[in-house]
Amino acid sequence: TRQKLARLRRLPAELSSGERVELQANMEIPAELPLIAQSGAAGIGLLRTEFLFINAETLPDEFVQERVYREVIEAMGEDCTTIRVLDWGGEKQSEALGNAGFFSGEVDLNPALGLRGLRLLLMHPTVLETQFAAILRASVAGPTRILLPMVTSLGELRTARDLYERLFKRLRRKGVRLPERPPPLGVMIETPAAAISAEALALEADFLAIGTNDLTMYTLAVDRSAAAVARLYDPLHPAVIRLIAETTAAALRLRRPVSLCGEIAGNPRVVPLLMGLGLRSFSMNASAVPRVKQAVRAVSLDECRRFARRVSDEVDPERIARLVDEFSA
Ligand code: PEP
Ligand code: MG
């Protein structure tokens, strides 16, 4: 099977009917780079930057961050690296952020609904500026995109974009080497509010990335890490599927790139359904890339669309689970 995997790595990610699909890797720590290179992933669809802040006593400065981002961007060569700015929140306490006075010290009863992701960054814009500046400096090394986490409203995107564009101009005035234009700035669609506002967000964002891990949690009101409700955590719940479908349709209408980077992107049984809903770009654990590629190559677009229509007509989560099992059987 090693040989089979090596052969698969060279084959294109395309449906049996010929349409190309983009399969990229999610990355949490730089040590994953060799595995990502081996997987046949076409770039990084989600670089989580939390690792830079987790074990640090102080916040990593612009140049420390630039070095890390540059290393990843260079390793990806011609393929794109999508870097998500810090997605920190409530229960994930960090010494560096604590030392920098980020958290009030009050106990947060619902950390997932508290100061998290972009909300936190907009409250402490110097952290966001430092990270934007580091990514902008590193982006001369290759194709780069920037992703904003935990967006719930257009105002947040506008504020972040304004800061981003002003920073770009300021760095250029200072004579910093930068790309011709600022790299694309996109938003995560991982709250029901963002999914329902996908069209408005897509009008002002350069791309969308659907994060089904959090989208499932917030849509179903089921904590993604709570054992007691693990059985209720269902990314294929009809309500979640509908939000994925509507987000994708809005992005396609406005001709904005859209990808999906939650755990289900690495599930070869689910990807045909997602392709049937119109998605053509997925980012997943590097280890899942070969088997997802195999699943993509085994089906036609017509089959995917028919499958998606049948699933979209279902309102019972158990029936949907059965349809997904049967499709790949
Ligand atoms: C998601 O929420 O689906 C996602 C990709 O982001 P994370 O898992 O890092 O919250
Ligand atoms: Mg998320």
Please enumerate in sequence order all residues whose Cβ is within 8 A of that of 173, keeping only pairs 6 or more positions apart, or say none: none
Q: Is 22 in the pocket of ligand 1 (CB under 6 A)?
A: no
Known binding residues for Mg(2+): 190, 214
Choosing from 141, 202, 261, 292, which is the catalytic residue? 261
Quote ipTM for the complex.
0.99
Q: Are 216 and 222 in contact (CB under 8 A)?
A: yes
Q: Are 216 and 224 in contact (CB under 8 A)?
A: yes
Query: Cα 300 vs. chain centroid, distance in angstroms?
Result: 26
Which residues, given as ranges, of the chain have pLDDT below 50?
Answer: none
Q: Looking at ligand 1, which atom is closest to the CA of residue 263? A: 3
Per-residue model confidence (pLDDT) at position 95: 74
Per-residue model confidence (pLDDT) at position 18: 98
pTM score of the predicted model: 0.96
Please enumerate in sequence order all residues whose Cβ is within 8 A of that of 218, keeping only pairs 6 or more positions apart, or say none: 112, 190, 191, 192
Per-residue model confidence (pLDDT) at position 151: 98
Q: Is 142 left (phi over 0), alpha (psi -120 to 50) or beta?
A: left
Closest residue by Cα to atom 4, ligand 1, is: 211
Per-residue model confidence (pLDDT) at position 89: 78
Known binding residues: 48, 84, 190, 213-214, 224
Which one, of 296, 151, 288, 307, lies nearest residue 215 by Cα? 151
Per-residue model confidence (pLDDT) at position 22: 98
Sheet strands (E) in 169-270: 185-189, 207-210, 258-260
Per-residue model confidence (pLDDT) at position 56: 83
Distance CA 233, CA 211 (A): 14
Residue 261 falls in the annotated catalytic set: yes
Q: Quote the Cα angle for 304-149-111, to 5°.
A: 110
Per-residue model confidence (pLDDT) at position 190: 97
